[in-house]
Amino acid sequence: MGKSHPIELRERVQAEIDGGESRRAAAQRFRVSASFAVKLATRVAQTGSAAPARQGRPPGGGKLAPHLATLVGWVEAAPDTTMPELAAKLLAETGVEAHPASLSRALIEAGYSFKKNACGIRDRARRRT
Protein backbone atom coordinates (compact mmCIF):
# COMPACT_ATOMS: atom_id res chain seq x y z
CA MET A 1 0.00 0.00 0.00
CA GLY A 2 1.10 3.51 -0.66
CA LYS A 3 1.96 5.96 2.05
CA SER A 4 -0.33 8.95 2.63
CA HIS A 5 0.89 12.50 2.16
CA PRO A 6 1.64 14.27 5.47
CA ILE A 7 -1.24 16.17 7.04
CA GLU A 8 0.77 19.44 6.89
CA LEU A 9 1.06 19.17 3.11
CA ARG A 10 -2.60 18.28 2.82
CA GLU A 11 -3.59 21.34 4.86
CA ARG A 12 -1.32 23.64 2.83
CA VAL A 13 -2.71 22.40 -0.49
CA GLN A 14 -6.27 22.75 0.83
CA ALA A 15 -5.54 26.27 2.11
CA GLU A 16 -4.28 27.21 -1.35
CA ILE A 17 -7.46 25.82 -2.92
CA ASP A 18 -9.62 27.64 -0.34
CA GLY A 19 -7.70 30.83 -1.14
CA GLY A 20 -9.06 30.78 -4.68
CA GLU A 21 -6.32 28.89 -6.51
CA SER A 22 -7.35 26.13 -8.88
CA ARG A 23 -6.76 22.55 -7.81
CA ARG A 24 -4.27 21.92 -10.57
CA ALA A 25 -2.34 25.12 -9.85
CA ALA A 26 -2.17 24.25 -6.14
CA ALA A 27 -0.91 20.79 -7.06
CA GLN A 28 1.74 22.23 -9.35
CA ARG A 29 2.90 24.70 -6.69
CA PHE A 30 3.40 21.98 -4.06
CA ARG A 31 4.73 19.44 -6.59
CA VAL A 32 2.03 16.84 -6.06
CA SER A 33 -0.18 15.23 -8.64
CA ALA A 34 -3.29 17.02 -9.87
CA SER A 35 -5.25 13.89 -8.95
CA PHE A 36 -4.18 14.27 -5.32
CA ALA A 37 -5.36 17.87 -5.17
CA VAL A 38 -8.71 17.03 -6.79
CA LYS A 39 -9.29 14.05 -4.48
CA LEU A 40 -8.21 16.10 -1.45
CA ALA A 41 -10.66 18.91 -2.26
CA THR A 42 -13.43 16.36 -2.77
CA ARG A 43 -12.61 14.66 0.54
CA VAL A 44 -12.61 17.97 2.41
CA ALA A 45 -15.95 18.92 0.82
CA GLN A 46 -17.49 15.57 1.85
CA THR A 47 -16.00 15.04 5.32
CA GLY A 48 -14.70 18.45 6.36
CA SER A 49 -11.28 16.96 7.12
CA ALA A 50 -8.05 16.75 5.17
CA ALA A 51 -6.94 13.65 7.09
CA PRO A 52 -6.27 10.60 4.93
CA ALA A 53 -8.84 7.82 4.82
CA ARG A 54 -8.07 4.48 6.42
CA GLN A 55 -6.26 2.14 4.04
CA GLY A 56 -6.90 -1.55 3.65
CA ARG A 57 -9.77 -3.79 4.53
CA PRO A 58 -11.74 -3.27 7.69
CA PRO A 59 -10.76 -5.74 10.43
CA GLY A 60 -12.96 -8.61 11.56
CA GLY A 61 -14.42 -9.57 8.22
CA GLY A 62 -13.71 -12.41 5.89
CA LYS A 63 -15.46 -15.63 5.10
CA LEU A 64 -14.22 -17.42 8.23
CA ALA A 65 -15.61 -14.88 10.73
CA PRO A 66 -19.15 -16.39 10.81
CA HIS A 67 -17.68 -19.88 11.31
CA LEU A 68 -15.11 -19.06 13.99
CA ALA A 69 -17.21 -20.43 16.86
CA THR A 70 -17.67 -23.69 14.95
CA LEU A 71 -13.92 -23.94 14.28
CA VAL A 72 -13.10 -23.29 17.94
CA GLY A 73 -15.59 -25.99 18.96
CA TRP A 74 -13.98 -28.52 16.65
CA VAL A 75 -10.50 -27.68 17.93
CA GLU A 76 -11.68 -27.94 21.55
CA ALA A 77 -13.17 -31.37 20.82
CA ALA A 78 -10.07 -32.67 19.00
CA PRO A 79 -6.98 -30.52 19.71
CA ASP A 80 -4.68 -32.68 17.56
CA THR A 81 -6.62 -31.98 14.36
CA THR A 82 -4.40 -30.77 11.53
CA MET A 83 -5.22 -27.70 9.48
CA PRO A 84 -5.86 -29.70 6.26
CA GLU A 85 -8.26 -31.97 8.18
CA LEU A 86 -9.99 -28.91 9.61
CA ALA A 87 -10.25 -27.40 6.13
CA ALA A 88 -11.79 -30.61 4.77
CA LYS A 89 -14.28 -30.76 7.65
CA LEU A 90 -15.25 -27.10 7.13
CA LEU A 91 -15.84 -27.75 3.43
CA ALA A 92 -17.87 -30.90 4.09
CA GLU A 93 -20.08 -29.46 6.82
CA THR A 94 -20.56 -25.83 5.78
CA GLY A 95 -19.55 -25.71 2.13
CA VAL A 96 -16.94 -23.00 2.82
CA GLU A 97 -13.58 -23.63 1.18
CA ALA A 98 -10.63 -22.21 3.12
CA HIS A 99 -6.88 -22.66 2.86
CA PRO A 100 -5.25 -24.33 5.89
CA ALA A 101 -3.06 -21.26 6.43
CA SER A 102 -6.17 -19.08 6.64
CA LEU A 103 -7.62 -21.41 9.25
CA SER A 104 -4.40 -21.24 11.23
CA ARG A 105 -4.43 -17.42 11.17
CA ALA A 106 -8.06 -17.38 12.28
CA LEU A 107 -7.32 -19.69 15.21
CA ILE A 108 -4.29 -17.62 16.20
CA GLU A 109 -6.54 -14.54 16.21
CA ALA A 110 -8.97 -16.50 18.42
CA GLY A 111 -6.18 -17.02 20.96
CA TYR A 112 -4.79 -20.43 20.05
CA SER A 113 -1.12 -21.27 19.69
CA PHE A 114 0.57 -24.31 18.23
CA LYS A 115 2.74 -26.01 20.85
CA LYS A 116 4.22 -29.42 21.53
CA ASN A 117 3.06 -31.23 24.66
CA ALA A 118 5.22 -33.37 26.99
CA CYS A 119 4.98 -36.40 24.67
CA GLY A 120 6.36 -34.40 21.75
CA ILE A 121 3.02 -34.45 19.96
CA ARG A 122 1.83 -31.14 18.62
CA ASP A 123 -1.29 -29.76 20.20
CA ARG A 124 -3.42 -26.65 19.82
CA ALA A 125 -4.18 -24.90 23.07
CA ARG A 126 -5.36 -21.47 24.16
CA ARG A 127 -2.62 -18.98 24.98
CA ARG A 128 -2.23 -18.06 28.60
CA THR A 129 -3.21 -14.52 29.42
Domain count, the chain: 2
104-114: per-residue pLDDT in tens?
A: 999 988 888 76
Task: Give me the phi and psi of 116, to 5 degrees please.
Answer: -95, 140
Q: What is the CATH number of the domain that holds 82?
A: 1.10.10.10
pLDDT, averaged across the chain: 88
pTM of the shown model: 0.53
Domain match, 40 and 74 both: no
**What domain range is 14 assigned to?**
7-47
Domain match, 38 and 69 both: no
Task: Give me the phi and psi of 28, to 5 degrees please.
Answer: -65, -40
pLDDT of 121 over the 60 cut:
no
Residue 30: other Cβ atoms inside 10 A: 15
Residue 2 lies in a domain: no
1-45: per-residue pLDDT in tens?
A: 688 999 999 999 999 999 999 999 999 999 999 999 999 999 999
Domain match, 38 and 73 both: no
Residue 26 lies in a domain: yes
Domain match, 71 and 104 both: yes
73-101: per-residue pLDDT in tens?
A: 999 998 888 899 999 999 999 999 999 99
Residue 22 lies in a domain: yes
